[in-house]
Amino acid sequence: AFARLNPGRPTAHRLNRAEYANAIHELLNLEIDAESLLPTDDTGYGFDNNGDVLSVSPTLLERYLSAARKISRMAIGDPALRASMEKYEVPYELKQDGRMSEALPLGSRGGAVIRHYFPADGEYVLRIRLSRTGDRANGDGGRIRGVNLRRHLDVRLDGARVQLFPVGGERFGKSTQAGAFGIGGLFQADPKQLEYETYGADAGLEVRFAATTGPHRVGISFLVEDRSEPEGVNTGTGGGSREPGVDSVVIRGPFDAKGLGDSPSRRRIFVCYPSAGGESGSLVKRAALKTGDDEETCARKILSALARRAYRRPVTEQDVARLLGIYKQARSGGGFEEGIRVALQRILVGPKFLFRVEEDPSNLPAGSVYRISDVELASRLSFFLWSTIPDEELLSLAERGKLKDPVVLEQQVRRMLRDARSAAFISNFFGQWLQLRRITELSPDVEEFPNFDENLRQAFQRETELFLESMVREDHPLKELLDADYTFVNERLAQHYGIPDVYGSSFRRVTVTDVNRRGLLGHGSILSLTSYPLRTSVVLRGVWLLTNILATPPPAPPANVPNLKERGEDGGIVSVRQQMEIHRKNPVCASCHLRMDPLGFALENFDAIGKWRNTEGSENTPIDSSGTLPDGTRIQGPGDLRKVLLTKSNQFATAVAERLFTYALGRGAEYYDQPFVRKIRRQAAPDYRWSSLILAVVKSEPFQMRRTLEP
C-alpha cells in the first residue's frame, strides 16, 4: 500500500538549545539558562531544528558534558556547595519610568524581576547598583540617575517584602542653580554631594536574607511617593530619564547552608528514598515519598523513571543495568545521592537523550516505507508543538499503542495546543518563520528616530507574541493574521500607534479601529524588521510579503547591484519612490521589482519604526503609497494591499503549510513533498484554522511514516 509513497527520511536529530532547555524542565522541573551553557544553533530552511545542520563537534560535546555536570548538581544539590555569585544586568537602554512587570507592586516604577535558582537552604546576600548617567559599555560610570529624587527601593522574595531602602534626596552644601535634567546640579560645588551622586547613594543597598532551595522570584522596584504621579500615567515616549533605575543586581550565597531542602527538582527525581538514607544535608520531605526500600531497589526505581522520560520510550533491562553500574561506582565514594547525581549526569550526556533517533525495523528491506511506532510519533508530536519531550499522558498513551487511533491523536493535538507549553511553538515557529527573533538586533538611527528605545522594542515583540498566541489558542482562521480587528498594547505602544486611553505597562487587548493598522502588517515588529536603520525599505517589505504570505519568494539579487541613488540627475534629493524608479531602469533589476515594489510601496505610510506618517524627508515630501501589481490591479495604501492579499488565501495557506511542514519534520520540504503540502492545504480549507492546519500536518504521511535506509 505504501509502495509509491515517499515520506522522506529525517536524519538523526540532535536537540537544539531551546529543546534541550525545555526537555530539562520537563524531565527535572528545573529552569536553566541554556544560552550561557550551549552555543547558538545553525539554521537550515529557516529553522534551527533542522536535523541536517544540527551537527556535533568535540567542542560541543564538551559543552554538553559541562552542562550535564552543572544541571545534575543544581537538580539534586551539593551539600558541600561553596558560596557563589550571580550578576543580573538590566538593559542599559531600558527606560524605568513605569511599572516594569505585573509581578511588581502596583504603584511601583523601575527595577526588575529576577528568576534566581537558590542551590541550598541558607542565607544569601543581595546587592543593588543603581543606574548611572554614563555609558556602561564604555566603562563610563557617570552619576547616579535621579539621585535628587526621594524614593524607596522595595526588595521582595516571591512577593513578600525583604527590605525597603530609602534612596536619594540627600542634600549637601548650599543651594545653587539646578543642572540639566535635574541631575546632580543642585550642590555640585560641594565635594560631599559629588561623592554622594557618584557612588554614595547606592553604597548601602545590600541585604542578607534567608531562602530555601529552588527557584524563587526576586522583585526590585521603586515605590512612588508623590501621589500626583499615579502608576502608568505619563511614562514618556523615549529619550533620557530623570527617574532612578536599577543597573544590576548581584546575589551571593549560600552562607550558613542548612541543607538541600525540598526543591521542585528533588521532588521530581526522588520518587522513593531508602530507609537507611539519612545522609547529611538531605532534607527532602520524605513523608511524600515511598520509603523503606533498600538503596539499590530505590535507585533502580529512580533511574528507571528518569531514563524512561529522558529516552522517550520504555526502558530496557540493559538501559537500567548500565545506569545502575554508574550509580554503584559513584555511590561507593559519595553516598546514595551522589550515585544518583552521577547516573543522572550520564543520562543527560547520552545519545538516547541528546538525539532523536528513529530505528528502522530489522525485518524490512532497504528503501521500504513504514509507519513509525507510537512512541516515535509521540516524540515527533511533542517536539513539534512543545519543543520538548512527551509528558506522562502522551508517553503513556503511546506505550499502550493508543496514539495511532485518529480520534485519540486529534484529542492529544487539541490538548497540547491548549497547554501552556505550546508557548514554545509560538516562540520557535513564528519567531523564525516571521523573523521575530531578529527584533533584538533592531538598531534604528538614534538621530532619525530619537523616540525608539528598549521599552518600545520589547513592546513590539510582546504585542506580536500575544497576538499570535491568541490566533493559535483561540483557533482563528489564517486570514485573521492579516485583518484581525484587535491587538495587544501597553501605554508605550499605544502612544506610538496613536491609540487613546491606554495607561500603564501591562498589555491588554484593544480593538483596532484604524483599518490601516489591522493585522500583522500594522505591527511595529514586522514594519521595523523590514526596514533599514535610517529609512524604510520597499524591497525588504516586498520580499517579506512575497516569501511569507504569497509563497513566491524572488530569486537572490544579481551580483554588483548598484545602491539606490539619493540624488537625481540634477543633483537634487529624490524620494524613495524616485530612487526606485531610477533603479528599475536597469533591465537586470526590473523584472523582480515589478513584483516587489508595489507591495512595499503600499506600506510606505509606516516609517522605519512602524509609526504612521503622511510625509517623508526633510522637505516633507508627501507619501505616495500607490502601485500597480503585475496583473494590472491598482492599490493604494495598507487597506488595499490587505484586500488583495486576502484574495490570495490559497497561496497564503500554501506558504504556511510548507513552513509548518518544514518545522514539524525538522527537514526541508523537497520536490517530492509538494503533493503532501498541497494535501495539507486542501484538508485545512476553507477557513484554514490553525487547528486544521496543524492536524493536517500531524496526519500527513511524512509525519507518521518513514523510509528505511537505501542500500
Predicted pLDDT of residue 237: 40
Mind listing the pLDDT tens digit for each residue in 538-584?
Answer: 999 999 999 999 989 998 877 666 666 555 555 555 667 767 666 56
Domain ranges (residues) in the chain: 16-77+265-357, 84-259, 535-647
Q: Which residue has the higher pLDDT, 385 or 231?
A: 385
Predicted pLDDT of residue 337: 94
Label residue 141 by pLDDT band (50, 70, 90): low
As a whole number, the mean pLDDT across the chain is 89
Cβ 362 vs Cβ 708: under 8 Å: no
Mind listing the pLDDT tens digit for each residue in 483-497?
Answer: 999 999 999 999 999
Q: Does the pLDDT value for residue 435 go beyond 90?
A: yes
In angstroms, rounded to a whole number, what is the distance separating the alpha carbons of residues 256 and 253? 9
Task: Enumerate residues 6+ apart whose C-beta is below 8 A from 170.
Answer: 147, 196, 200, 201
With vertex at residue 502, the alpha carbon angle to CA 236 and CA 612, rounded to the nearest 5 degrees, is 70
Mind listing the pLDDT tens digit for each residue in 354-398?
Answer: 999 998 998 889 889 999 999 999 999 999 999 999 999 999 999
Label residue 268 by pLDDT band (50, 70, 90): very high
Predicted pLDDT of residue 180: 45
Cβ 285 vs Cβ 303: under 8 Å: no
For helices 690-698 and 649-665, angle between their N-to-C axes, nearest 10 degrees:
50
Mean pLDDT of 430-454: 94
The strand pair at 272-274 and 290-293 is best described as parallel
Q: Does the pLDDT value for residue 524 go beyond 70?
A: yes
Predicted pLDDT of residue 267: 94
In angstroms, rounded to a whole number, what is the distance separating the alpha carbons of residues 473 and 462? 16
Q: Which residue has the higher pLDDT, 650 or 238?
A: 650
Predicted pLDDT of residue 578: 66
Predicted pLDDT of residue 619: 82
Label residue 680 by pLDDT band (50, 70, 90): very high
The strand pair at 108-118 and 214-223 is best described as antiparallel
Predicted pLDDT of residue 626: 95
Cβ 497 vs Cβ 469: under 8 Å: no
Label residue 232 by pLDDT band (50, 70, 90): very low
Predicted pLDDT of residue 569: 59
Q: Rg (Cα) of the chain, in Å, rounded?
A: 29
Predicted pLDDT of residue 588: 59
Predicted pLDDT of residue 568: 55
| Percent of all residues in the chain with a pLDDT value above 70, rounded to a whole number | 87
Mind listing the pLDDT tens digit for each residue in 699-709?
Answer: 999 999 999 98
Predicted pLDDT of residue 293: 67
Predicted pLDDT of residue 123: 96
Predicted pLDDT of residue 571: 57
Predicted pLDDT of residue 164: 97
Label residue 140 by pLDDT band (50, 70, 90): low
Label residue 285 by pLDDT band (50, 70, 90): very low
Mind listing the pLDDT tens digit for each residue in 36-54?
Answer: 999 999 999 999 999 999 9
Predicted pLDDT of residue 281: 41
C-alpha cell at 477: 482562521
Cβ 187 vs Cβ 193: under 8 Å: yes
Predicted pLDDT of residue 233: 42
Predicted pLDDT of residue 558: 73
Q: In CATH, what number does 84-259 get?
A: 2.60.120.260
Q: Does the pLDDT value for residue 439 go beyond 70?
A: yes
Averaging pLDDT over each range in 71-75, 76-80, 147-151, 282-286, which range is the top one? 71-75
Does the predicted TM-score (pTM) go above 0.75? yes
Mind listing the pLDDT tens digit for each residue in 117-135?
Answer: 999 999 999 999 999 987 6
Q: Does the pLDDT value for residue 18 go beyond 80?
A: yes
In angstroms, rounded to a whole number, what is the distance separating the alpha carbons of residues 222 and 100? 10
Mind listing the pLDDT tens digit for each residue in 145-204?
Answer: 888 888 999 999 999 999 999 998 887 766 555 554 444 444 455 788 888 888 888 999
Mind listing the pLDDT tens digit for each residue in 313-358?
Answer: 999 999 999 999 999 999 998 899 999 999 999 999 999 999 999 9
Mind listing the pLDDT tens digit for each residue in 233-265?
Answer: 444 444 345 789 999 999 999 998 887 778 899
Q: Does the pLDDT value for residue 73 go beyond 50?
A: yes
| Percent of all residues in the chain with a pLDDT value above 90, rounded to a whole number | 71
Predicted pLDDT of residue 668: 94
Judged by DSSP in three states, 207 sits in: strand
Q: Smallest Cα–Cα separation from 642: which of 525, 533, 523, 536?
A: 523
Q: State CA 636 to chain mean position distance.
A: 35
